[in-house]
Amino acid sequence: MNIADCLEKIRQKKPLIHHITNWVTIYDCANITRAIGALPVMAHAKEEVEQMTSIADALVLNIGTLTIGLVESMVLAGRTANKKGIPVILDVVGAGATDFRTKKAKEILKKVKISVLKGNSSEIGTMAGVEAETKGVEAISVKGNLTEIAKNLAKMEKLTVVITGEEDIISNGIDTYICKNGHYMLGKFVGTGCMAASLIGAFSAVEKDYVYASTAALSCFGIAGELAAENAKGPGTYKINFFDEIFNLNSGSIGKMKKIEKIS
């Protein structure tokens, strides 16, 4: 499937994307899932996460405001997703900023078979065990070549690694893509990283080649970001435009605007 076909399939099939996520961007994650054409559900009580995941088509885990209790629910939901064979996206928000986050992110990665491990450069650097600095949820620095870090971590963990940034790197250890879509204004409001993970969840629910699904999701995300700049006067209007553009994405704009490079 090409990108527009994936998008069309999301809109037709309306996959249910179960999120266990943070309290900051939980609304925007649900909202972008709906805007792209899928169905979001947010549920974190350990008494119900397994059953909720069992009716879902993808699971998105995000450690942005994690607690011990949430990690427990993530593992329960993750194992259910593994049994069912649906994709699990893990967004390691803030990994490296505190030992607690780093440790818990690694614990989830160990206990659940993750399909797509996503973060910014220092978060993924932290997960890969290279020297990296995360300031809150912001990437400050990482030692080493990002593409190599993504590839090696993907090979070692047998999953797809996504490093978001000015250019996104997506690798499953064999296939590696660079996505150059995007706009600097996407960095001027809160929640873009989390929302990108939700889109990856929606695309992975309809396309089992997760490295391609992730690339397609990020390209759509970036294209909407480029289109949103028109008439935006700041991060307020820009964000509103962005949701409009996600909703209005079509094969025409995607075909004309996508900037994806396969580098291996």
Q: Tell me how far apart the alpha carbons of residues 232 and 83 are, in angstroms, rounded to a whole number.
A: 45
Both structure tokens of 250: 């079509």
68 binds a second copy (CB under 8 A): yes
Comparing CB distances to a second copy, the nearer of 133 and 157 is: 133
From residue 75 to residue 114, what is the string marking binding to a second copy with x (rule CB under 8 A)?
-------------------x--xxxxx-------------
Q: CB of 85 within 8 A of CB of 129?
A: no
Measured N-to-C along each axis, helices 99-111 and 121-128 cross at an angle, to the nearest 10 degrees, of 70
Distance in Å, CB of 43 to a second copy, minimum: 6
Distance in Å, CB of 82 to a second copy, minimum: 19
Distance in Å, CB of 256 to a second copy, minimum: 19
Residue 217 CA, distance from chain mean position? 8
Both structure tokens of 89: 């996206």
Name the segment binding a second copy (CB under 8 A); options: 106-114, 167-175, 206-214, 242-250.
Answer: 242-250
Supply the DSSP string of 74-106, one letter for each residue: HHHHHHHHHHHT--EEEE-TTBTTBHHHHHHHH
39 binds a second copy (CB under 8 A): yes
- Site residues, a second copy (CB under 8 A): 16, 18, 22-28, 30-31, 34-35, 39-45, 47-48, 51-52, 55-56, 64-68, 94, 97-101, 135-138, 188-191, 233-237, 239-248
